[in-house]
Each structure stands twice: as C-alpha cells, then as structure tokens.
Amino acid sequence: MISWLKEEGKDRDVVVSSRIRLARNFEKYNFPVKISIEEGQSVFNEMAAVIDKSHYAIFKTKDIPKIEKEMLVEKHVISPALLGHSDISGFALSQDETETIMINEEDHLRIQVLHSGLSLNEVWHKINQIDDRIEKNVQYAFDEQLGYLTSCPTNTGTGMRASVMLHLPALEITKQINKVLSTVAQFGLAVRGVYGEGSKTMGSLYQISNQVTLGDTEETIIKKIENITRQIAEKEKNIRNSLMEKNKLEFEDKVFRAYGVLKNARMISTEEAVRLISYLKLGISMDVLKGNTINEMDKLFIEIQPASLQFINRLEMSDIERDIKRAETIRNKLI
C-alpha cells in the first residue's frame, strides 16, 4: 500500500524519510502562475511524450477520484498544491512510488524522490539522473547567473528542496525540542511539524529542510542537512536511552498503555491514534515493545489518515465510520 516506506535506511528509528524535490520550468511556456489552459495542456503532453512509460504511470489530476488524490497526498507522493491546479495538472508516478514528476503544480515540473531513513545522498543521486534524462528532451528555463528559474523566487537557483522527516518523541517528552529546533533554524534550515503548524505537531514528527536555494551547491546543502540530522538523531537516541535508564517503569507504562488503548479501542480519532502510535514507535525502538516494527508503524500512520482509510476500504465514510474503521485497522495491525 505504501511502497516507498521500507524497513531500511540509516537511523531508521528516528528518521522516517528523506525527500528531495526539484522545481523546473520549460523555457518556452509561461510559468503556471500565468499559464493558459492550452499552454498547460502542451506542457502536460510534452512531458507525457518524454516520460518512460515502462517506468512511470502518468495521470491527469482531474481523472483521479477525490479520495485517491487525497490518499496520494497523505502518502506524501504528491503535494496538496497539485490538487489546486487540477484543470491542467498531472503527475507521473514510478511503480515503487519513490519517484513522482508533478506537472503544472507551482512550476511546470516538480520532480520528487522519496526514500525511507536518512538517505539524502542516494535520493540526490537518483533525482539528478531523472533530471538529466528530462533535460535531454526539454529546454529548461535557466539563467547563467541565477540558475534554474522558478515561479517563486525562493526556489530559484538550484530549485531544490531537500528534507528529512524526523520522529522526536524523547526530545518532546523532555521539553528539549524547542531548543533543538531553534538551533536548526540558526543554520539556515527550516523546521516545521509534519501535521499542523509550527512546532505544534502530531505524533512528534518534524520536517527539516533547506530554506536557501541560491548560492550553495546541491551537495553542500545536502551535506548540511545530513550532518544536522545525524546530530539530532544522536541526541534523540541518547535521551531515549536516558529516559529508559532513569524512568524505565514510567517509560514502559506509557508505551504499554498506548498499546492497550490502540489494541482495544472501538473508535479512535486520527489525532489520538497518531499520538499513541508515536509512543509505540518509541517503545519498539527501545525494545520495550516487541512484535511490530517501526516500519509497520510508519505505514500505519498513513493508513489511518482519512482518505487512505477510505481508499483501502473502498468506501466513503462519515467521521464516525472512519473512527470505527480506524480503530479496527489498528487492532488488526498490532500484534
């Protein structure tokens, strides 16, 4: 169901995923902010002609049912912004869902590669090849001084946004998270909760990404994010260990209570489920809880989101029906 999420990847118990996306535009067309429907269709058609059909399936956004689109957003495979341009937008998706080429999102092309764990180098290597292959057939909007030109000036230059998604429950529990996040900001990186705004996040999930796309090379940016991520992961793991040493019983109590509720509830909201699954992940990473894996829990995070839940069950559901199905899904998944 969520094929890009795998058990493998460095620091997998802290780093859920690594993602890079490149913003690219055709030189000969107006950028999507000013594009006509006809031009938009031409962009889509040119990309459709260029893309390797044995590797990618290509879709027009408007042809995809609403729930399926929302599910793809929940899986982080396409962006929410793509749905905002659905008259002319589309996307190509690799079979393993690690590669997406979004067409007529904010830019003509948004190329994305997504892997589990801390794997920005691998992801960079892969996305670089995809970009090169496309560039053989498409004349990109490029300026010798500025680099790749984009709809929004914050993307101009490399056109690259590299990010990692981190699970930081121990930093949250010990209230050290804000200090860590402000340190990250001092390095010119952006931090935000994966769900919700700012440092108010659900499930202790945070995303770190580069703010600057001009001036540094892609490799420099990636190296910086990797280094800082590795330090945060180290800190998170140290605190997990010391929580276990100093308050083993309280720690186990929290984890097992979360398990008990998830394994028994008959109705559960996304918010509560995500909060409790976060505790299970913490418990699994510390070997307190056995049976399920971190990766299974990361998949569950996504599978219980509203659209994914409905898509998997091939059923449109009311809020309460979702709460019931969510509880059932979790009960069945937990060992």
Contact set with a second copy (CB under 8 A): 249-250, 252-253, 256-257, 259-267, 324, 327
Beta bridge partners of 20: 113, 162
Asked if residues 72 and 78 have their Cβ atoms less than 8 Å apart, the reply is yes
Nearer to a second copy, 45 or 264 (CB): 264
- Angle, CA 127 vertex, CA 123 and CA 128 arms, to 5°: 115
Q: Which of 307, 286, 321 is closest to 66 using CA atoms?
A: 307
Q: How far is the CB of 244 from a second copy (least distance, A)?
A: 13
Q: To the nearest whole angstrom, how small is the minimum distance from the Cβ of residue 265 to a second copy?
A: 5
CB atoms within 10 A of CB 219: 11
> Residue 110 is encoded by which pair of tokens?
């948004």
CB of 15 to a second copy, least distance (A): 28
CA distance 194 to 93: 22
Rg (the chain; Cα; Å): 21
Do 91 and 103 form a contact (C-beta atoms < 8 A)?
yes
Q: How far apart are CA 111 and CA 123, in angstroms?
A: 12
Give the shortest CB-335-to-a second copy separation in angstroms.
Answer: 14
Buried-exposed string 108-126: b where 16+ CB fall within 10 A, e elsewhere: bbbbbbbbbbbbbebbbeb
The distance of closest approach from Cβ of residue 79 to a second copy in the complex, given in angstroms and rounded to an integer, is: 35
Q: How far is CA 224 from CA 210, 237, 252, 321, in A?
A: 9, 20, 35, 45
In the complex, least distance from residue 56 CB atom to a second copy, rounded to whole angstroms: 43
Residue 205 or 243 having the CB closest to a second copy: 243
**C-beta closer to a second copy: residue 235 or 275:** 275
Judged by beta carbon, residue 49 or residue 249, the one nearer a second copy is 249
Comparison of 24 and 326: residue with beta carbon closer to a second copy = 326
Amino acid making up residue 195: Y
Closer of 32 and 283 to a second copy (Cβ): 283
> Nearer to a second copy by C-beta: 37 or 249?
249
Nearest distance in Å: CB 255, a second copy: 9
Q: Contact 89/35 with Cβ under 8 angstroms?
A: no
Nearer to a second copy, 228 or 324 (CB): 324
Q: How far is the CB of 269 from a second copy (least distance, A)?
A: 12
281-310: buried (b, 16+ CB within 10 Å) or exposed (e) per residue?
Answer: bbbbbbebbeebebbbbbbbbbbbbbbbbb
